[in-house]
Structure 1
């Protein structure tokens, strides 16, 4: 009953998040229906270098025409975590009202402001806005030299006129296109004061595209035939890997069963010394509990929670909650579901801790609660300090930090304790098929390829090879401007990753036991999670070879948060590998008679 209650909590959480995110589709100020001349919500969001997605700044941090009173939009938690800082844009685009070129303001740029704009143009700064919840992008200017590091000898220009083309269907807005006038330029090459007349124009165009399909264009890049062909090739490659591993594992199991049958059909006096060696020989040590019980149980609990989090996120993605530019929906779901699934971590850790005869369950729960969030918190403190030093929107406001702290205090911690109490009171038994001897048997000297590091390399490479093609698209979406929407394919790849991880870990566990090494508990966990290390190695390759990111802040954010993500994969896949190995070890030792 305790398990059912704990599972129902995250299910309820997922339902709440779905309702919240779906309700967030509609605008805060409108139901997306307008009459001619109505005000349409138009917000300026942020600016920043195009190749550095984390290094973003407030729109009015650059010396645009700043209104007397800047009106900020009230933002949800996920929007703030995403770095959004929306303010009312300095443009008036009334519904179905065309406008000839109209001036926002006429401004004299000082020498300092000219230098700011010039530096922004040379770094490929872009701006982002939202009109009726539709995203708009554009570049600030252009320059005629490919050498951004040496602006001398190049001409730098600022766009001063924007032309908006707005497509509408009856009383609803379908699409927004913004173009910079290539002829309305301001020369920023020299350090001198410049007069600038910022202008804009609006053109309304009727279309037959229904309102329900207005977001489809943002996901079309993911569904182009070329990209779909690559995605399916990735899946076929992964399936071939799974089939090969399945056949390999089936061969091993058949060999084990065949050898067992021979042993059971021969008389005891006919069994030679060679048959007394191998994994059967260590039956009195194989179920000896691992060292550092509390840490091991905490790792199992944290990995189980992260696995549950991944499953619920996929559920939300597959029902269409994370459609393109649903601002902050993913971050909101991550925070809420992680908080509500902490009961799973507490239950898994405490029940397993008591199953392996642990005593101090309070310290075990504290370790479980901080095993993942502790490194994440330290990383956040460092990166938030860096973002504050850069005055970037990636820095969380104090109020948001307080909200997250309250969620952790009032939701995460109590559910962790309740789950721990339920796990402690369940008092499960380990159910070992063999009795454990009083003293551990000495482990024989093993060749180098049977040691931990070589086995980690083998265990991590195959699962990584099954997902590395899809990794590029994930990285290009998270750390770039590509949109990823094919969550069904991603879910299939995730399932394949789990299967390959379980199979390869089981195979390596068998080889370890066959070499009479009975310390398989930690080895199976580490080998299962080693794919996270390969993913972090791919981060190094992606940063230097596949991206144009640069600068201390972007580098810190990329490698800092990817370290936390890969650490989460290590815990989740390590738990998967250990659980699969535990089932396998129990099965093979039940198939023999142990004195």
Structure 2
């Protein structure tokens, strides 16, 4: 009884202690409490393109540093860069301090920031960025400054990350530049003396000030445009308004994580499940049919009845384990595929559990890179078990270091354990003379069968793929990891069943070259992803610059590689 009594006493102590503990939101950073008059820092991030308000198309994908000299934004006396994660840097974040001075719960009706002179050449650059619908990105207490917009389908408001550099909807040759910002900060009151920031909205305006005195009252209504023939003086001003909100700190990201028409996600999921059920039924029918015939044949042998000769896939039992062509390349590709598979699976587990909060910028990309490096041992192990034969220079060096100091050694460690495994013994001997393969029907030839096999896995994921691409290029936060995890599971099952199904058909047609077919059948979905990416480029993006096109092509090649692996 003593151990049982000790157990109950321990449980009671844990409950008593837990009632006095102070919990905070696990996936993100710990909340910060402010008091009246405390400084609230404003950090600036890279300018990124947004989708057009009417066409919903993206005109560029290149981010620009906030303090890139042609913009001529106001700078603080001491410019400080903020520490960033590897994933944040790779996604283009460049976070710095700003000259904006905000104090908790202190409103400002009109605050003059600085005067800047924009030459004609830089005015052309800025006007072009306005036409491309570039957005300014700020961070206040870890929250991105947002524009409050309305969903045209649900007619519900949501927060769109970033606010426009200028008004690109105007028909004038020189679009207005936003040089005044109404900063609305929502706070949640913990008690009478402590506050937490739970929302940041910025309403930009264009005001043509002529002197600093006129900029100190912010009453100008005429819009400011940058002349492309002569220099233009720009006066920057801002207004601060603090508003009380009932939103708790733990749910402050809910307004930013807006889902456009969630029924589409459910339709995608149901569509994927239908495909899986169809394939499962096909595989089950084929296997049951084959097993039923084999059992009948064995019963005939016991009854000493006439036994039919082997036919179909039974004829190639002596050749089915013959080593395929380019066996080393196939083993390396299988190892890399296993590495990517486990990286994706573990990353989605962490994402679904809520450990990859958007408040921790770049956490998703960082976790993916780390797990990809760590699972180098998986790649080495799968490849070895006795199988038959624009980023900153420091970040690039860090990635190279991760590869050579972590991934490569782990790959060799995995290979070491793989080679120590006993050799895989085939259940039948391989014939010395390869069997002649009869002529195949059209749909069982390599290219047609690959195209047929790849279309079903692609059909199970293409809708969710559309939302992921929109998040990547539209500077949006993708957070529907539950849907992504389910789609990933369905994709895995679909690829497996398609491969089993077509391999069975090939073997029934006495084609024993199944190794590469099995790899490329479901891997052909990568080709459909590449074609879909081209369609996305043509229909959703209006990109004319060579640099932006090169960046997109790089992503498409990576998607194609991921699909094949």
Q: Distance in 2 between matches of 1:417 and 1:184?
A: 67
Q: 1:514 to 1:174 in 2, by over 3 A?
A: same
Residue 293 of structure 1 corresponds to 327
3-state SS of paired residue (1:560): helix
Residue 458 of structure 1 corresponds to 452
Residue 475 of structure 1 corresponds to 469
Question: Is 1:139 aligned to 2:164, yes or no?
Answer: yes
Q: Deviations over 1:207-238 (max 9, x none)?
A: 2221111111111x22x6x31x2211111111
Equivalence map 1:331-370=2 (5 Å): 331-351=365-385, 354-356=386-388, 358=389
Q: What is the aligned-residue RMSD (CA, Å)?
A: 2.1
Question: Is 1:206 aligned to 2:240, yes or no?
Answer: no
Q: Distance in 1 between matches of 2:128 and 2:60?
A: 17
Question: Is 1:101 aligned to 2:120, yes or no?
Answer: no
Q: Deviations over 1:77-100 (max 9, x none)?
A: 222112111111121112111112
Q: 1:212 to 1:96 in 2, by over 3 A?
A: same
Question: Is 1:307 aligned to 2:341, yes or no?
Answer: yes
Aligned to 1:526, which of 520, 523, 533?
A: 520
Aligned to 2:354, which of 306, 310, 320?
A: 320
Residue 131 of structure 2 corresponds to 122
Q: 1:45 to 1:422 in 2, by over 3 A?
A: same
3-state SS of paired residue (1:65): coil
Residue 306 of structure 2 corresponds to 270
Q: 1:346 to 1:193 in 2, by over 3 A?
A: same
Q: Distance in 1 between matches of 2:511 and 2:471?
A: 43
User: Is the contact between residue 73 and residue 87 of structure 1 (CA under 8 Å) also seen in structure 2?
Assistant: yes
User: Is the contact between residue 49 and residue 59 of structure 2 (CA under 8 Å) also seen in structure 1?
Assistant: yes
Q: 1:48 to 1:184 in 2, by over 3 A?
A: farther
How far did residue 548 of structure 1 move?
A: 3.7
Q: Distance in 1 between matches of 2:552 and 2:228?
A: 35
Question: Is 1:65 aligned to 2:59, yes or no?
Answer: no
Q: Distance in 2 between matches of 1:114 and 1:474?
A: 34
3-state SS of paired residue (2:139): strand
How far did residue 507 of structure 1 move?
A: 1.0
3-state SS of paired residue (1:195): strand
Q: Distance in 2 between matches of 1:475 and 1:462?
A: 20
Question: Is 1:179 aligned to 2:203, yes or no?
Answer: yes
How far did residue 550 of structure 1 move?
A: 4.2
Residue 386 of structure 1 corresponds to none
Q: Distance in 1 between matches of 2:271 and 2:132?
A: 39
Equivalent residue pairs, number: 495
Question: Is 1:409 aligned to 2:404, yes or no?
Answer: yes
Q: 1:212 to 1:344 in 2, by over 3 A?
A: same
How far did residue 544 of structure 1 move?
A: 1.0
User: Is the contact between residue 42 and residue 139 of structure 2 (CA under 8 Å) also seen in structure 1?
Assistant: yes
Residue 575 of structure 1 corresponds to none
Q: Distance in 2 between matches of 1:469 and 1:117?
A: 35
How far did residue 159 of structure 1 move?
A: 1.4
Q: Which runs of 5+ in 1 are unaligned?
A: 1-21, 147-152, 359-394, 572-595
Q: Which runs of 5+ in 2 are unaligned?
A: 1-24, 51-57, 146-161, 190-194, 207-220
Q: Distance in 1 between matches of 2:489 and 2:289?
A: 27
Greater mean alpha carbon deviation, residues 311-320 or residues 256-265 = 256-265
Greater mean alpha carbon deviation, residues 127-136 or residues 432-441 = 432-441
Q: Deviations over 1:446-482 (max 9, x none)?
A: 2222110000011011111122222211111122234
Q: Distance in 1 between matches of 2:140 and 2:381?
A: 46
Under a length normalisation based on structure 1, what TM-score does the superposition of the two structures give? Answer: 0.79
Q: 1:143 to 1:506 in 2, by over 3 A?
A: closer
Q: Distance in 2 between matches of 1:84 and 1:483?
A: 14
User: Is the contact between residue 26 and residue 355 of structure 2 (CA under 8 Å) also seen in structure 1?
Assistant: no
User: Is the contact between residue 42 and residue 131 of structure 1 (CA under 8 Å) also seen in structure 2?
Assistant: yes
Under a length normalisation based on structure 2, what TM-score does the superposition of the two structures give? Answer: 0.83
User: Is the contact between residue 144 and residue 154 of structure 1 (CA under 8 Å) also seen in structure 2?
Assistant: no
Residue 20 of structure 2 corresponds to none
Q: Distance in 2 between matches of 1:472 and 1:333?
A: 22
Q: Deviations over 1:522-572 (max 9, x none)?
A: 11111121111111111111111233444222222222122112212211x
Aligned to 2:419, which of 421, 424, 427?
A: 424
3-state SS of paired residue (2:512): coil
